[in-house]
Amino acid sequence: MPRHEDRNRCHYCMAFIAEALRYRNVAPFGVGHNTVCRTTIDKYTIPENTGILVYQGYIMRNEKEWERANDFMPERFLDSEGQFVSTRPKAYMPFGVGRRVCPGERLAIADLFLVLVRFLQRTQRYDILVDSIAGVSVDPQIPDSSNPPEFTIIFKKK
Ligand code: HEM
């Protein structure tokens, strides 16, 4: 069984999780907020009590911030020795930023790691076949929602 400590050794798994959260962010618009006072950011002034959504899904796939932003590349989170890089670019924000940043981040990463590793361990003796006609699309049905279209996977004993 995988344990939490194993995260320090499973560099590619950690990079895979980090990239999955970047590439198809669970909450592309984060959580809505309101300004508590008139606020100026750069050349924009936002009045008091205005609803704000941060389109973090876009920031995390912005070509200006990310090399090959629309490719799924876990390697972008590995250094030249294949070690998981724990420092994050500013444009990496699957859990939001600032004082309302997601308090569940550590728990979420810990869970994702255990589920992913357990899945890989339990499926080693299977060929994983994807519906050959429909294939798999990782693009959501409604743009920037988090639900991919349904697809069929067959686990066939080797
Ligand atoms: C992959 C899993 C998760 C993702 C991607 C995620 C993402 C987010 C995001 C983007 C926000 C908004 C942050 C902001 O406003 O800047 C948020 C807020 C929040 N999340 Fe998560 N979250 C995840 C898992 C969890 C878990 C496991 C918990 C609790 C056990 C949790 C509890 C919360 C709470 C309470 C807030 C509101 C914080 C506040 O407004 O002060 N989240 N999350």
Q: What is the pLDDT of residues 11-46, one digit of tens each?
A: 999 999 999 999 988 888 999 999 999 999 999 999
Q: What is the pLDDT of residues 68-85, one digit of tens each?
A: 999 999 999 999 999 999
105 and 133 share one domain: no
| Residue whose C-alpha is closest to residue 10's, from 101, 113, 154 | 113
The boundaries of the domain holding residue 73 are: 4-122
Q: What are phi and psi of 49, to 5 degrees?
A: 60, 45
91 lines ligand 1 (CB under 6 A): no
- 3-class SS of residue 134: coil
- Output the residue whose Cα is nearest ligand 1's atom 19: 102
For the CA of 100, the nearest atom of ligand 1: 41
For ligand 1, pick from 26, 102, 109, 144 the residue to mutate: most ligand atoms within 8 Å of CB. 102
Secondary structure of 78-103 in HEC code, one letter for each residue: ECCCCCECCCCCCCCCCCCCHHHCCC
97 and 155 share one domain: no
80 and 152 share one domain: no
Number of compact structural domains in the chain: 2
Q: What is the pLDDT of residues 120-149, one digit of tens each?
A: 999 999 998 887 666 777 777 776 677 777
Residue 27 Cα to ligand 1 middle (Å): 9
Angle (CA) 65-62-98 rounded to 5° is: 75
- Output the residue whose Cα is nearest ligand 1's atom 21: 102
30 lines ligand 1 (CB under 6 A): yes
Is 13 labelled as part of a ligand binding site? no
